[in-house]
Structure 1
Amino acid sequence: MTPTPTPTPTPTPTPTGNLGCSATYRVVSQWSGGFQGEVRVVAGSSAIRGWTVSWTLGANEAVNWPWSATVTTSGSTVTARDAGYNGALAAGAATTFGFLGTGSASTPTLSCTAS
């Protein structure tokens, strides 16, 4: 009789907690041809070491002169990364960054990723 091989157990991933974040956007002020935007980043139920927020620009909209984040634009996609000093957030803690924009302010949908 041939022995039946015993299946090798599949390792269970180690939970890392809820390394999440959320981001909300608001227009602080607007003027002819421009606006000031602000984004609030909030850590999830666990502390995070850094964050990245991205969104898509509206028509004829551009992001310029950011503060408290490193901001890059590729086509119509904006990516903002923490500035180092404001990346580590305790669970539930928040930070903000802002920028001046040109064009008419839209209401973007933000995506937040924590590390």
Structure 2
Amino acid sequence: DKLRDYQKKVMERSRFDIPALFHIEGLTGALMPEATSFPTGIGRGSAWDPELEYEAGKIIGKEMSAVGIKHALAPVLDVTRDARLGRQGESYGEDPTLVSALGTSYVVG
């Protein structure tokens, strides 16, 4: 209801009828109360399981869609080989094939 009200206000005030695009963090789940929480990307990457990543993406997508959010800030597709990056835990790891396979599974899910 809240997003619908925001969208209505945005559309009423937009002279070009451009709707707002609502987004939230989706790396470890939809970042909102009551949503399912998953391990970080590096943790899920260590499982080497595209089917499991597909299921996670599917659950996260359903939970976001249920509240009207269509844009997720995920997955992180950086291939991280240097721990100095600082956000290495958000990545699936250092193997480009693994990162590609898991990222694709997440998005398709």
TM over 0.5: no
| Larger-Rg structure | 1
Q: Which structure's residues are more often strand, by fraction?
A: 1
TM-score (ref. length: structure 1): 0.29
Q: Which structure's residues are more often helix, by fraction?
A: 2
| Higher RCO (C-alpha under 8 Å, 6+ residues apart) | 1
